[in-house]
Chain A
Amino acid sequence: DTAVSQTPKYLVTQMGNDKSIKCEQNLGHDTMYWYKQDSKKFLKIMFSYNNKELIINETVPNRFSPKSPDKAHLNLHINSLELGDSAVYFCASSLGGLRAGELFFGEGSRLTVL
């Protein structure tokens, strides 16, 4: 069983479209994250949720909206996609937040905006 699973793994879409990436973890963790990895392979935090509550919201355009229906799921919805949104998006989870536990990552979702 995959611990942290993201779908879709690849997403190719046109500018202006709206798309979602889903993430689920079966580890019983209480904290989940979305990270963006740009073309230079640099990882950057976007959002973090702890028990469905938003605890980190980096300087991310309002077009990005996370949603956590329960502590095992953290989805990422992106409106009005732009070329610069092309990247790999990683979901991750940890137990007790970053100070307590190691991170478990999903396989990444490669978004290409044309």
Chain B
Amino acid sequence: KNEVEQSPQNLTAQEGEFITINCSYSVGISALHWLQQHPGGGIVSLFMLSSGKKKHGRLIATINIQEKHSSLHITASHPRDSAVYICAVGKTSGSRLTFGEGTQLTVNP
């Protein structure tokens, strides 16, 4: 079992829908990262958080340290949001990231 589990693995939505991607982890962490990988391959960091909630435009990331769970929400989704979203955690016991397997999001017009 991976230390970082994402769900769903694949998600198809219609433009305008509210989207939630979940990340659960089983280790103590110092921070959790949400990354976005577009079809062209480039990876962009969306959020780094260790508590509470962060918002950037239509994207919202939350984390519950007690439940070891984080969610990434996209409001008013758009086809350009189509990408792979990757959750990664930095463990408290080390200095490396452990990655989830990613969630492939497709937003149809």
Contacts and interface: CB of A to CB of B under 8 A. Distances in A.
A-B complex is real: yes
Interface of A: 40-45, 48, 55-56, 58, 88, 90, 92, 97-99, 101-105, 107-108, 110
Contact of A42 (B42, B45, B99): B99
A108 B37 CA distance: 11
Interface residues of B, number: 22
Contact of A40 (B41, B44, B48, B101): B101
Closest 3 CB pairs of A and B: A105-B43, A102-B48, A98-B90
Contacts of A110: 41
A103 B35 contact: yes
Contacts of B47: 102
A105 B44 CA distance: 7
Contact of B97 (A88, A98, A104): A98
Contact of B95 (A44, A98, A105): A98
Contacts of A90: 43
Interface in B27-58: 30-31, 33, 35, 37, 41-45, 47-48
Contacts of A45: 96-97
B84 interface: yes
B101 A42 contact: yes
Contacts of B43: 90, 92, 105, 108
A56 B95 contact: yes
Nearest to B102: A41
B52 to A, nearest CB: 16
Interface in B80-107: 84, 86, 88, 90, 95-97, 99, 101-102
B94 to A, nearest CB: 8
